[in-house]
Amino acid sequence: APFAGMTIVFSALLASTGLLSGGEKEVIGRVDVLVIGIILLGVTTVSLVGPRSPEGDPPDMDTMLTYFYNPPFVAFSLSSAVVIFSFVLTQCFVCGRVWLNRFAVLKTFCNGFTAAGCGALSQMCLKIVATALRETFNGRPALTTLAFWASVFGLAAFAPLQLVLLNSTLANSPVSYAVPLYQTMLIVLTIVAGGTFFLEFGSMDILHGVLFGVGVLLAILGLVILSLRKQGDVLVQSERHAQKAHGGMLDAHNAHGAREGESIVGRGRRSDENCESPLPPRLAAPETLQP
């Protein structure tokens, strides 16, 4: 969480200098700074009061198998996978891409949210694979379990997809919005994934549960406000681009009209010159007869 918070802060500062966007500086106002502070407060609260694993030796594969099949984790992993692959499938069809491209901020949010979901599931799969390998080195047949192969498949599916979705998030959004979105959702979803897998939420008292919920709400509230502000910035930029394009079309139309006018005038002048018939030659005066 501290690393994620520093990433959010420094990415916003670098975005304001233009180093992350090819020299184009992102405007970060006081409201943006306040909203990013709210997001950091929510992330910090979630990290401090979130569920914790009991101290002691790491769980063995038998314990991991028990955790793997518990209903809260199954519900979280299945719902996350359905949301992730549903969004990816919509982007495989032209109609889905066209519809979502009209809402730039919503598309960025979906990309960031699904990338964070892939990251959370990848970490859980990696935890199970690492535990299975450790058990194998200790002489136990952990590589033959369903949880191991399901985790290998999940890691192979979600890890590359996380990079693709994260790349799309950063490529289609300002850094000052994409980085807080991804880091915040990654922390929240990872904590939820770990809490449901290791049944850590059951050991939380009421105070910590309430504070955890408040932290999540603060983080989501900050992201919603930041999304609305970036949506306004996108609309303003679109209007400016449209006005520039319209002005350029008018200039081109006026220039074309001027050229057409000059061409018509030139053709008219040439036509007038061609229509001017030369005067008939003067007849010579008859010679006067001499008497």
Is residue 3 predicted with pLDDT exceeding 90?
no
pLDDT, position 165 = 94
CA nearest 170: which of 14, 5, 1?
Answer: 14
| DSSP state at residue 278 | P
Higher pLDDT, 275 or 213: 213
pLDDT, position 242 = 46
Q: Does the reported pTM lie above 0.85? A: no
What is the per-residue pLDDT across 227-247, written as a single tens digit (0 to 9) for each?
Answer: 887 765 554 454 454 455 555
Segment among 6-20, 209-223, 256-270 with least mean pLDDT: 256-270
Q: How many CB atoms lie within 10 A of CB 119?
A: 24
Is residue 281 predicted with pLDDT exceeding 90?
no
Which long-range contacts link 225-231 to residues 24+ away (Cβ below 8 Å)?
Answer: 225/35, 225/38, 226/32, 226/35, 226/36, 226/39, 226/177, 226/180, 226/181, 227/105, 227/109, 227/177, 227/181, 228/105, 229/31, 229/32, 229/35, 230/105, 230/108, 230/173, 230/174, 230/177, 231/104, 231/105
Kindly report the backbone phi and psi dihedral angles of residue 286, in degrees, each rounded to the nearest multiple of 5, phi listed first: -60, 145
Amino acid residing at 15: A
Average pLDDT, the chain: 79
Is residue 19 predicted with pLDDT exceeding 90?
no
What is the per-residue pLDDT across 135-189, written as a single tens digit (0 to 9) for each?
Answer: 888 888 888 888 899 999 999 999 999 999 999 988 888 888 888 899 899 999 9
Residue pointed to by tokens 């028990």: 66
| CA–CA dist 137, 60 (Å, integer) | 12
Cβ–Cβ < 8 Å for 20, 175:
yes
CA nearest 62: which of 160, 132, 150, 166?
Answer: 132
Cβ–Cβ < 8 Å for 178, 36:
no
Higher pLDDT, 21 or 28: 28
What is the per-residue pLDDT across 51-70, written as a single tens digit (0 to 9) for each?
Answer: 876 665 677 788 888 888 88
pLDDT band at 103 (very low <50, low <70, confident <90, very high): confident
Q: How far apart are the first and last CA of the chain?
A: 134
